Structure 1
Amino acid sequence: MVFKRQLLAVSALVGASLVANAAQAQSSNTIEELVITAEKREQSLQDVPVAVSAFTDERRETIGINSVQDLTNFTPGLSYATNNDRIAMRGIGRFTNNRSSEGGVAMYNDGVYTSSVTAFARSTLFIERTEALRGPQGTLYGRNSIGGALNIISKRPTDDFYAEVRGGLANYDNWFTEAAVSGPLVGNIRGRLAGSYSSQGEGYFKNLNPNGRDEGGIGDQWQIEGQLDGSLGDGKLEWWLKADTAEWHNLGRGPGGRTTALYGIRDVTSPLQAALTPNSATLGLPLGTAATECQFCFNNDDGNYISLENNGYALNATLHLDNFDVRYIGGYTYYDYRLQTDLDATSRQAPFNLPISATSSPLYYPRRHNQYQEEVWWFSNELNFASTHDGAMQWLLGLYQFREGSNYTLSDARHPDDPRFENPTLFSTNPATQLVAAAPNPLRRYAYGSSSNVSESYAAFGQLDWQVTETLKATAGLRYTYDRKRSFESARLFCLFTATCPISRVSGRAVDVTAVASPGASSDPSVYLPAYTDPTTGLRHRGLKNNWSGVTGTLGLDWQPDPDTLAYAKYTRGYKAGGFNSGTTTLAPNVTTEEETIDAYEVGLKKTFGGQLQANASAFYYDYQDIQIPITGRDPLTDLNVTRFFNMPKARIVGFEVETIWQPIDNLQILANYSYLNSELREACCFQDPEDPRGIQEGVVLAGNPTPLPATGALNQDLKGAKLPSSTPHRVTVNVNYTREMAAGSLTGSLTWVWRDDTYYSIFNRYYNQAKSWQQTDARVLWNDIDDRFTVIGYVKNIFEQEGVSGADGTRINTGPNTGFVNRTISYVPPRTYGVEVQYRF
């Protein structure tokens, strides 16, 4: 708290000093104007009544934005968790990767919607500009932009011939090479071709298994992008086409890769209490992360193997007519992501005898892994009509369509070495039928949950800007959105040697318990196809479908008394469609959520002082309703944690953000931003914390339970006042860069410091879900020759090897003498990395 008071006091003094000095400055050094397309028109950043963080390729190079995590450092209110590819803006984001439910931040690649944030990590060879729009963007962006929107704009073909090659080396056996060529082709058609390849051979996490590989950042990635553009009819029709493809073949690199360390103990005393089948957590095997030997160590045989295939196409066309433009934006993407994870968390592979009783010690195969997959394809079409005349009334109208199909497999857990799972028997309490053969299981699965999904969205929208006076402008926008979704679920579950299927201890065969563990019975109106079992595959299926709709919009006033000042106030209504918790192994009975809505109120001020100090500030208040949150609880039949969706009734989000650029003298630039965020659940009762089922942690408020309280079993908690996940209360970023001009070229030094406050990563605000505050310091040196042909960059990230945390989670031990102890899983940002990059332009 003392640090926070000092920080605020220093910030106030520095801010006052900056204003005074900038007002007196007579230097020719001025801040360069930045043109953005946040409101689907080209405008100066300082003229747009939206809280926007925008980064050109040049600025990204200077301050060191090379990853999505870097982007969050310089964008107030933005957070990202690498291990599960989830992004949040001002406390609103994505709390599940289920393909039947969207995130709260809309992402666009050249105006075409995308559901993965990985494209935002591309290098400046591909990206011209990155824009982050904070706050609901329900009128112009619509689809699930309830928290904000991100958009990247690619570098386009050039009028003159251009070519560039790049290469770099870094620690952890990291290297990359990139190249691009651009220019005129035939007539007025221009083209651009770019590609990159990167590889990392050493990992951030050490594998203590001598036959295994280290993980964390290891792998190979490549991508190729081609573009064409041109015009017809003397420039009346302009068109642009892009096609790109990318592949990953990684071991713990990228979303889903190894970023975590486990702290705690294992229950090694109750080998028959594990979920469905015994696992290493209860067999007395070595602790998977080997935390007693080193912090960033693990001991596995099967790694976090990641593969990704991504193919995308985008088309933009603009027809210039008298007084208005007609613009088409369309695209198609195919995305196939696969992740294999080690479930037994040990390097033990050899089978051994498991002592079940004094007379029974059947053979047990310890090796287990899971196959996760998101195979997704989507396309969208948007048609805009925008005024181009000089009148006081400017308007924009549009139509939008989106369709996504996906095959989503959350659980495909297997015993690859155990042939007994291939020919299971059906579960039965009748001894006469206990050995009836079930459908074959050739992949040796023991838990399977998947869904095939279709999501469609249609919208019509319009926005009107009225210049009431020379200094006052009024804005009104309205959008209607209709969403519908379908999901076809599949599930199967087996048990071996557990109390659920004692016959397996005698027969030595796995037992298919799908019918009792995944009945699929539900009164949920989304269930249009009741659950049934396919006798040939043993899979239990169910069909879901539902639709949602919402009216969103904005009302705002802008006051611009002079070219250097913009003050604005606005109200925005946001909406996000409901979804399904589909594809679980248990065919959850409560499967559907209602839509989310938000009423957002924001005021902002954008001010430039003497051309040398730019300060953009915004304050906001959100009334956030029906937040879609998955709650995890323990199923008493299977002893598995299962996740179900709920709509938390209400949250309140209050915040303040400021971004500044100060250029006090020629060649010196200071960038600083600060964000304050207070996001609280105001109504949220009554829910159970699987890691604290009896509610004994400090600060727990029990509610909605029988009186007197039952002696055993989980108890409900009232979560009013809990912080939303990934809502960092305070964050500060400062970058100082200085360029020295010389006869042979220029040398730029850049230093960045980031500090993040304590952050919870669950609505259960407990110590095991909290990341402590941390800071990081990065440095860069850039050399550019006088002809701007050569660029050499040297960099160090995380100079002081700070253990930055991007996620925290707890897992409770439920059996044995350590029952109630909560292990902690902490996700870390990369350690210290350093390297050099060389660029050459022809």
Structure 2
Amino acid sequence: MIKTRTGFAGSARFTLLAGAAALALPGIAHAQSAEAQEQVDVDSDSFPVASDAETGNQIVVTATKREQTLQDVPVAVSVTTAETIERAQIRDVTDLASVVPSLRVTQSQSQFATTYSIRGFGTSGNNIGLEPSVAVFVDGVYRSRAIAQISDLPDIQRVEVLRGPQSTLFGKNASAGVISIVTKDPSYDFGGSVEASYGNYDAFVAKGYLTGGLTDTIAASLAGGYNRRDGYLTNAFNGDDVNNRNRWFARGQLKFEPSDALKVRLIADYDEIDEKCCGVTALLIGPFTQVIQSLGGRVNDPNRPFDNVIYSDVVPNSRVKNWGVSGQADYEMGPVTLTSITAYRTTELNANQDVDFTSLASATGANIGQAKIETFTQELRFASDFDGPLNFLVGGYYFNEKADSADQIVYGPGFRGYANSLITLLSQGQLNASLLETYFGVPQNTYWQAGQGFFNHFTQDNEAYSLFGNVDFEITDALTLTLGANYTHDAKDVVSDSRSTDAFSNVNLVTAGAAVVRNQVIAQQVGAAIGLPAGSLASPAQIGAFAVSQPTIFAAINTGATNFANANATNPAVNSFLGLSALQFLPPLQNIPNAVEDGKSRDSDWSWTARLAYEISPTLNAYVSYATGFKASSWNLSRDSRPLAADYAQLVAQNLAVTNLRPGTRFALPENSTVYELGLKGDWGRIASANLTFFKQSITNFQTNTFVGASFVFANAPKQSTFGIEFDGRVSPTRDLSLFLAMTYLEPKYDSFPGSPLGDLSGREISNIPKIAASFGMQYDKELSGGNHLIFRGDYNYQSPVQVEEGFTKFGTPAAGILLASRYRREVDDLNASLTFAMQNGLELSVWGRNILNDRYITGMFDSVAQDGSLSGYINQPRTYGVAARFKF
């Protein structure tokens, strides 16, 4: 088994786990709202019930689109406060996963390929047509792709991670969960903060926040930040740093409160990323990669993947721009509040990446991609606050989006030499590129020329709306029944305009090979007829002369040769050219709409919630719930977008199919999720808090996206499910010390997945999802003389060993690919810590470190592009550390 981690030994690790578990009740969830801060009165000798141990303030969340304390809200939710984010040096949602073990964030070939998963459920971000199963909201505004919120977290108040289907209230694509980021409301009191941090890899981060009242009824805030860092990977081909940081954001808010009943909040934000992302390391070298090496190309030593060295002749630039405006109005009409949230957002991506991830200069050229997503959303809801036993929340949601996606793969001048070597390898020395062109009767230097490639372009128009409602009925003072429903209709229209100029990929090897076989049979039989030595082939001139002199005999030879060639056109033992199909890297795409496929999907579905919440005591609540979720069809907007089997048959029957078309997946069917949940929530003020959740969650028609060495293949897993236990909480043995633990246990499996690109995965455990994920944390806040504080915070993130990938497709058989994948496992031991001296005047000085143990592991793997028998992968970030200064006023 390949070693994919470094750090202390297993016995020490489990000693630490056991010791931490003995000291702490599970927990991480701590949040406060501005209103709660104003309402809670804290003195030096007591803490309020339902309090945040770090701040002493009441924990208030909006997981159900109402303000409730964390103890009272009957939903599985983890909350991370601004203070935790500051102390733990959490920069973005990726870092957030270190303190929320049910959340996992992965990133592969570019920032666009960012995936958020909750409880093991999440959708790959590698295709713009795939919308996430985990919905991201910032101040109530939906971000339709993960890339729309991967920059640094802005002026944060808290981050809520809602676990399990949330489609009843959140509607659009919340079939696996929700990440809800809540920023600070502008304040009428003047204040703010500035922060700067410097660390290894020449890392520099600066942030600022300013707020205050402009008039008695108008308040404003401004926030901005800049984050840069050298890359932790070195491209040995040109000396570049790769996987660096270079990003900034700006955000402005205005709050209008012209009366006690009306509040309006306007937000404008912009963020930009311009980085070299993402570096790929070689993990296994096969014969195709050895050909590249023979031509002068280099890759890193696959036995030392954590040397932080890669080889690439293409600079992997990735540029992302996000901007948007939104407005929220809340109007109180007695006991009913009307809320309206209107937003417009734009996301743009430009990326440039190597294709083969080697240093063979100009071999395969570059994969260049562009995307633009424009989104308009409108939400309108009414929420009651009656004194009686019945309350409701009803509303509607409208979504309109246009997505434009393009990418190009263009061969470089060195690719023909690479292809020529592969032809020689595959034909065991019997063929080369020039001889192949002669056989197929095309001019020399036709195939694999610089500038040939694939030029892909899709547009997708998506319009959706949903109607939703929840009713809460207090059966008794302690028992509340909640019933909820959501009806969603989703319409997508897709148009493609894609073309392949790769001359060899446009060759039909069945017919072209059959023609060569026919000609060879004729040449052999004519040679025998005119008395040439056995096995000799007649020349074209000899064949022509024979056809004139012996027309009857030649007609019989021609007919027999034609029948033989046609009968054996698909027999690789006769038509040996079929073995060269592996070199048809960029076959044509059947554009849509066409006479058979209209490029449209129309999906409608109901989602439901039923929940009983019971207050056992003032400090302990319980709930049991049933909920369903829905995500509409996702279209394959990649160069491997292919018609479904039935549509393929019609295209062939009507002679409309492009060359080398094969059936595949044009779109993935809608997802439906179901969860059964039992939860306990306890809060004992300063002393402790704890939450325990048992759940059984499943998704039918789960949308998967599998890389097969040259492209991504869509598929639907008919059913996958997870049984799990989540446990989080806090204990404070003294006023200065708080201990936290969050732990997730999962049993994920494919209940049914016979049509996987890797073969039948039914009944198998799902890879890349650890059975146990835990975050142990502590904070020691010691008050010193003069009102100063010394604060130590640490968290340790552990993930049990897990197979990194399900399997690979370029290793003979699916079983062989799955067996190989079992060798590559990951285990995570991630320790983070900070020490802060907080002065009474608002100045704070800190030292911090992330991944202090320098634990290294493989985050993802794939079949190397155009290199059968090779594997490539992504590795995690090494140890980082630094100092920081923050001033709050």
Deviation at 1:304, TM superposition (A): 1.2
Match of 1:69, SS? helix
Deviation at 1:75, TM superposition (A): 1.5
Percent pairwise identity: 25
Q: Deviations over 1:171-214 (max 9, x none)?
A: 101112222221112351111112122222x22112222x4412
Partner of 1:622: 697
Deviation at 1:763, TM superposition (A): 4.1
Partner of 1:606: 681
Match of 2:97, SS? helix
Partner of 1:747: 790
Partner of 2:712: 643
Match of 2:696, SS? strand
Partner of 1:800: 853
> Superposed, which structure 2 residues align to 1:763-842 within 5 Å?
763-764=806-807, 766-768=819-821, 770-787=824-841, 789-811=842-864, 821=869, 823-842=870-889
Amino acid at match of 2:635: F
Partner of 2:68: 43
Query: Quick check: which one's helix share is greater?
Result: 2
Matched residues in 1 for 2:849 and 2:311: separation? Answer: 29
| One of 394, 397, 402 as aligned partner of 1:400 | 397
Q: Deviations over 1:551-593 (max 9, x none)?
A: 0010010010222111000000111111211331564543122
Match of 2:78, SS? strand
Amino acid at match of 1:518: P
Are residue 759 (structure 1) and residue 788 (structure 2) matched?
no
> Superposed, which structure 2 residues align to 1:503-652 within 5 Å?
517-518=587-588, 520=590, 528-530=593-595, 544-584=599-639, 587-588=642-643, 589=663, 590-609=665-684, 611-633=686-708, 641-652=710-721
Match of 1:473, SS? strand
Amino acid at match of 1:835: G
Relative to structure 2, which stretch is displaced further, 384-393 or 7-16?
Answer: 7-16
Matched residues in 2 for 1:11 and 1:147: separation? Answer: 30
Matched residues in 2 for 1:281 and 1:451: separation? Answer: 36
What RMSD over aligned residues (CA atoms) do the two structures have, in Å? Answer: 3.6
Deviation at 1:618, TM superposition (A): 0.3
Structure 2: gaps spanning 5 or more residues: 1-9, 28-43, 53-57, 418-435, 513-582, 644-662, 808-817
Distance 1:436 1:578, change over 3 A: farther
Are residue 377 (structure 1) and residue 374 (structure 2) matched?
yes
Match of 1:59, SS? helix
Partner of 1:109: 138
Partner of 1:221: 247
Matched residues in 1 for 2:136 and 2:742: separation? Answer: 23
Using structure 2 for the length normalisation, give the TM-score. Answer: 0.76
Relative to structure 2, which stretch is displaced further, 645-654 or 237-246?
Answer: 645-654
Matched residues in 2 for 1:794 and 1:212: separation? Answer: 30
Partner of 1:730: 772
Relative to structure 2, which stretch is displaced further, 223-232 or 337-346?
Answer: 337-346
Amino acid at match of 1:205: L
Query: Quick check: which one's strand share is greater?
Result: 1
Structure 1: gaps spanning 5 or more residues: 19-25, 272-279, 350-364, 422-427, 504-512, 522-526, 532-541, 634-639, 690-716, 816-820
| One of 236, 247, 256 as aligned partner of 1:208 | 236
Deviation at 1:450, TM superposition (A): 2.8
| One of 707, 710, 721 as aligned partner of 2:763 | 721
Distance 1:179 1:555, change over 3 A: same
Partner of 1:412: 408
| One of 210, 218, 241 as aligned partner of 1:181 | 210
Amino acid at match of 1:198: N
Amino acid at match of 1:414: V
Deviation at 1:6, TM superposition (A): 7.8
Are residue 653 (structure 1) and residue 722 (structure 2) matched?
yes
Amino acid at match of 1:151: S
Match of 2:636, SS? coil
Partner of 2:186: 157
Relative to structure 2, which stretch is displaced further, 126-135 or 29-38?
Answer: 29-38
Amino acid at match of 1:154: T
Amino acid at match of 2:159: T
Q: Figure out how many residues of one structure are paired with residues of the other and give that number.
A: 731
| One of 474, 483, 488 as aligned partner of 2:495 | 488
Distance 1:644 1:141, change over 3 A: same
Match of 1:70, SS? helix
Matched residues in 1 for 2:393 and 2:124: separation? Answer: 33
Matched residues in 1 for 2:70 and 2:507: separation? Answer: 63
Match of 1:772, SS? strand
Deviation at 1:753, TM superposition (A): 1.1
Match of 1:451, SS? strand
Residue 600 of structure 1 contacts residue 620 of structure 1 at CA under 8 Å; is this kept in 2?
Answer: yes
Amino acid at match of 2:377: S
Amino acid at match of 1:378: T
Match of 1:286, SS? coil
Matched residues in 1 for 2:11 and 2:330: separation? Answer: 56
Amino acid at match of 1:214: D
Distance 1:741 1:238, change over 3 A: same
Q: Deviations over 1:122-168 (max 9, x none)?
A: 65661111110001111111211111101111112111222332212
Using structure 1 for the length normalisation, give the TM-score. Answer: 0.80
Distance 1:546 1:755, change over 3 A: same
Distance 1:586 1:736, change over 3 A: closer
Residue 154 of structure 2 contacts residue 249 of structure 2 at CA under 8 Å; is this kept in 1?
Answer: no
Match of 2:728, SS? strand
Deviation at 1:501, TM superposition (A): 9.3
Partner of 2:78: 53
Matched residues in 2 for 1:269 and 1:45: separation? Answer: 54
Partner of 2:578: none
Matched residues in 1 for 2:617 and 2:290: separation? Answer: 74
| One of 117, 132, 157 as aligned partner of 1:128 | 157
Relative to structure 2, which stretch is displaced further, 377-386 or 647-656?
Answer: 647-656
Match of 1:758, SS? strand
| One of 270, 281, 286 as aligned partner of 1:261 | 281
Which structure's relative contact order is higher, taking Cα pairs within 8 Å and 6+ residues apart?
A: 2
Partner of 2:273: 248
